Amino acid sequence: MSDDGRILFYSAIGVGAGIYFFYNGFRLMSEKRLIENTPTSKVRSLAMGMVEVYGEAHPSKGKLFKSPFSGKDCVWCNWTVEEYRSSGKSSHWQKIRSGILSDYFFLKDDTGSVLVDPNKANIDVPIDFEAESGSFRGKLPATAVDFLNQQNVSTTGFLGLTKKLRVKESYIAPKDKVYIMGTAGDNPFVEDGSSQKNETDIMIQKGKSFYYISDKPEREVLKKYGWKVTGGLFGGAALIIVCLFVIFAYLRIL
């Protein structure tokens, strides 16, 4: 492919990416407005339908996990393993394993507790633990090595040299503050009408629309959404304009 052809090709890709970012900005704006317009409910006063709650995460009976790399107690965890690989003159981190430890947990505020099913939620939790191994990167914790062995991931390579690996995990620990925007629906583990407390018959879950869980309070969630909306709309529009300008210039349409 000639240089001109390559420029046109990448410019066309840029236009497509710009359209995606621009469209995604509107989607994020819609979610942001939903968060802004939904009042935070106390657990005791939850009603069926879309709800917003904020409180502490607590494990349900027998549902406490250990995070695979740092060994911390958690009610939910997302983990990844990456290997540093070289190909010609380029090198990059390649994801080789990933997984989620997840089950029902409770959200508790000063009025009561409600069961949460995190399945299918958009869970926005930053990286809580990260470590690397390699010739000049040190060693992974023993808990991480044990877990990798269980996953059939070797930590050593040619001649027994330590592989260049990077492990990451994000988790929700017991008593972490959690913000949830989701659907309050029927609790399948409680027979209808058998509970004396309204919230016992309810489980927060994925409904027909937005389901979001974060370890940040609402004001920080909205601040992050604001940056994403701005980046999507203005960044996407700018990318479209620049790439179209390049295409039109090379085609001598301008």
Q: Same domain, yes or no, for 13 and 118?
A: no
Residues 6+ apart with CB under 8 A from 192: 186, 201
Structure tokens at 143: 């808990």
**Can you give the pTM of this predicted structure?**
0.86
* 90's tokens: 């380029």
Same domain, 55 and 100: yes
pLDDT in tens, 79-106: 999 998 887 778 889 999 999 999 999 9
* 92 and 196 assigned to the same domain: yes
Q: Are residues 86 and 200 in the same domain?
A: yes
Residues 112-167 have pLDDT tens digits of 999 999 999 999 999 999 999 876 667 888 999 999 999 888 887 666 677 889 99
Do residues 197 and 115 touch, judged by C-beta distance below 8 A? no
pLDDT the model gives residue 27: 92
The separation between CA 225 and the C-alpha centre of its own chain, rounded to angstroms, equals: 14
Shared-domain flag, residues 164 and 244: no
Query: Residues 165, 60: one domain?
Result: yes
Q: Are residues 169 and 210 in the same domain?
A: yes
Please check whether residues 75 and 174 belong to one and the same domain: yes
Q: Which domain does 190 fall in, by range?
A: 45-216
Task: Give the span between the Cα atoms of 165 and 131, in whole angstroms.
Answer: 8
Name which residue leads in pLDDT, 237 or 196: 237
- Reported as a single tens digit per residue, the pLDDT across 10-39 is 888 988 999 999 999 999 999 999 999 999
Let me know whether 225 and 207 are in one domain. Answer: no
pLDDT tens per residue across span 39-85: 999 999 999 999 999 999 999 988 899 999 999 999 999 999 999 88
The number of folded domains in the chain is 2
